[in-house]
Structure 1
Amino acid sequence: MTPTTALALAGAVFVLAVTPGPAVASITARTLGAGLGAALWHVAGIAMGDIVLIALACLGMSTLAQHYGEVFLAVKWIGAAYLIWLGIGAFRSDDTPPAELPIRPPTGHHKDALAGLLTTLGNPKPILFYAAFLPTFVDLANITAVDFVLVCAIACSMVFIVLAGYALLAARARRLLRDRRTVRAMNRASGAVLVGTGVVIASRS
């Protein structure tokens, strides 16, 4: 892979990541509902999903989809259901302002990462991107191990940087919250966004 190709791929992934969609919506809602730590693990899961999609693209995603279409469909439904479950949890969460909450050791980060992974695997946008546009940057029929690692590194770094930026912005807004009524409204809103994201993923073909 040439430096020019690498830059072009980075720019394309940047546009893909920065465009609002299920990933941005779920990250924003997760940050507002559970804090920056949970959101960053969610972002990490989304980036891991990109690695999976890149590997599938290299193996021939269209062929795999034809033979294992039920598996792709099951992943989509599982991801949608999990996001809806998270949204219901956010909707019912405590309305104590973040500044008044005690500091607790982080737990359950693997669940946030799993939610991010399922969000990517159930979202048609990155699936179509890697299946249709990745071959314009790399010859998938003759890709080397080095090129595969470079593609994964470029895609994951751009996805993580962009989506972590969204999480940081949402976290800044969250820290300004001091009123229980506002926190309650925020929880309801973030829960509704997560549920809505799950419904959108489930409804897309």
Structure 2
Amino acid sequence: MTLTSALALAGAVFVLAVTPGPAVASITARTLGSGLGAALWHVAGIALGDIVLIALACLGMTTLAQNYGEVFLAVKWLGAAYLIWLGIGALRGDDTPPAELPPGPSAGYFKDALTGLLTTLGNPKAILFYAAFFPTFIDLASITFVDFLLVCAIACSMVFVVLAGYALLAARARRLLRDRRAVRAMNRVSGGVLVGTGVVIAARS
């Protein structure tokens, strides 16, 4: 993999990550609803999903999709259902201001990472990028293991930096919430975004 192709790939992944979509929406809603820690684990899961899609692209995503299309469809529906479930939970959430809430349990971070993973695997934009555009940056027929690791490092670092930036901005907004009416409105917004993101993922082909 040449330096030029590496830089081109980094730029393309940056554009993919920074463009608003299911990942950005779910991270923003997760930050507003559960705080920065939960959101960063969610981001880690999204980055892990990119590694899975890169591996599938190297193995021949088109062939896999044709032979195991039901698996891809099941993952998409599972991710959509979980996002909707989280959104309903946010809509019914407590309206106590974040400053008065105790720290969230660390046991939930695995679920946040899993949600991020499912969000990526069910995101048509990410699947299209790695299936159609990714091969233009690297010759998949002659890719080496070192190239694979480099590609994963580039993609994950860009995705994590960009999406963590969104999470930090949302966390800053969350800290400004001081009264129950504002928190109630935040819960409605974040819950609606999560539910809407799940519906969009389920509806897209």
TM-score by length of 2: 0.98
Counterpart code for 1:194:
L
Q: Which residue of 1 aligns with 2:91?
A: 91
Q: Which residue of 2 aligns with 1:126?
A: 126
Aligned length: 205
How far apart, in 2, do the equivalents of 1:169 and 1:108 lie?
A: 22
Q: CA RMSD in A?
A: 0.8
How far apart, in 1, do the equivalents of 2:183 and 2:56 lie?
A: 41
Counterpart code for 2:157:
S
How far apart, in 2, do the equivalents of 1:103 and 1:130 lie?
A: 37
Q: Which residue of 2 aligns with 1:10?
A: 10
Q: Which residue of 1 aligns with 2:137?
A: 137
Distance 1:201 1:95, change over 3 A: same
- For the residue of structure 1 that corresponds to 2:107, the secondary structure is coil
- For the residue of structure 1 that corresponds to 2:96, the secondary structure is coil
Runs of 5+ unmatched residues, structure 2: none
TM-score by length of 1: 0.98
How far apart, in 2, do the equivalents of 1:106 and 1:65 lie?
A: 35
Counterpart code for 2:58:
C
How far apart, in 2, do the equivalents of 1:78 and 1:112 lie?
A: 14
Counterpart code for 2:106:
P
Distance 1:66 1:105, change over 3 A: closer
How far apart, in 1, do the equivalents of 2:34 and 2:15 lie?
A: 27
- Equivalent pair of 2:34/2:104 in contact (CA under 8 Å): no
How far apart, in 2, do the equivalents of 1:163 and 1:5 lie?
A: 23
Runs of 5+ unmatched residues, structure 1: none
How far apart, in 2, do the equivalents of 1:172 and 1:24 lie?
A: 16
Residue 105 of structure 1, CA deviation: 4.5
* Regions of 4+ moved over 2 Å: 102-107
Q: Deviations over 1:112-148 (max 9, x none)?
A: 0000000000010010101111111111011000000
How far apart, in 2, do the equivalents of 1:8 and 1:65 lie?
A: 26
Q: Which residue of 1 aligns with 2:52?
A: 52
Residue 102 of structure 1, CA deviation: 2.4
1:196 maps to 2:196: yes
How far apart, in 1, do the equivalents of 2:199 and 2:69 lie?
A: 20
- For the residue of structure 2 that corresponds to 1:177, the secondary structure is coil
Counterpart code for 1:172:
R
Identity %: 87
How far apart, in 1, do the equivalents of 2:196 and 2:132 lie?
A: 27
- Equivalent pair of 2:23/2:46 in contact (CA under 8 Å): yes
1:176 maps to 2:176: yes
Q: Deviations over 1:13-67 (max 9, x none)?
A: 0000000000000000000000000000000000000000000000000000000
Counterpart code for 1:185:
A
Residue 187 of structure 1, CA deviation: 0.5
Residue 158 of structure 1, CA deviation: 0.2
- Equivalent pair of 2:14/2:159 in contact (CA under 8 Å): yes
